[in-house]
Amino acid sequence: MAESVTRMVSEEGTAAAADFERELVGRARAGDGRAFAALVRPHLPMLARLAGRLTGDSAVADEAVQETLMTACRRLPDYRPGSSLRAFLAAIVVRRSYTLNRSEARRHIREENSEPPAVESTAEERLGAARLAQRVREALARLPEKRRQAALLRLEGELSHKEIAQALGSTERSVRVLVHLALKELRELLGGEDG
């Protein structure tokens, strides 16, 4: 008898927790930041451990966790209450850690293979570079969100079309079109082929 009462109390507790999660998910989807924080807070240690183990670098791991939270917030409509939020978040942090690791490895290789500048740049050259960087940021900001993400993953992340498709939850064919359109639009916004 005591065993059946314990099971009933446990099942009621589980049902109440599921109802509470559904309520938090609904509020978070509606834009309630506190509800989102309450949803993810219990999982932060797990996310940090996973990212740390996968990246081996505390700064990259911190970035992976931050990007995971941003992605989870954006993809919360894809989450089905009642399924494992822990697994939902873990899948995202694994993908983000993998992507950031690859980017870091490529950056290190580029740095190792690059030769230091023969001459230091002048103030005028630095100003010109800063202006160009600002123009590129402004041009990127004018692109539709998904196109901008695809372009950045291709240009800055140096990801393949297949990797971009995985990161964006899209098809490789769709990503090829997105990247092509983004680069074409960037060229036009920056003033032609030389821009």
Neighbouring C-beta atoms of residue 126, cutoff 10 Å: 11
Is there a domain that residue 195 lies in? no
63 and 138 together in one domain = no
**DSSP structural state of residue 122:** P
Query: How confident is the model over 122-164, as pLDDT tens digits?
Result: 888 888 888 888 888 888 888 888 888 888 888 877 788 888 8
Q: Which of 116, 113, 107 is nearest to 57 (CA)?
A: 107
Domain boundary residue among 78, 95, 113? 113
Q: What is the pTM of this model?
A: 0.50
**What confidence score (pLDDT) does residue 147 get?**
87
Is there a domain that residue 3 lies in? no
Q: Which tokens belong to 124?
A: 């005028």
Q: Which amino acid is at 102?
A: R
108-115, Cβ contacts within 8 angstroms, sequence gap of 24 or more: none
Query: How confident is the model over 56-88, as pLDDT tens digits?
Result: 888 899 999 999 999 998 988 888 777 778 888
Q: What is the domain count for the chain?
A: 2
Neighbouring C-beta atoms of residue 60, cutoff 10 Å: 19
Residue 9, pLDDT above cutoff 50: no
Residues of the domain holding 24: 10-113
Is there a domain that residue 161 lies in? yes
> Residue 144 sits in a domain of what CATH number?
1.10.10.10
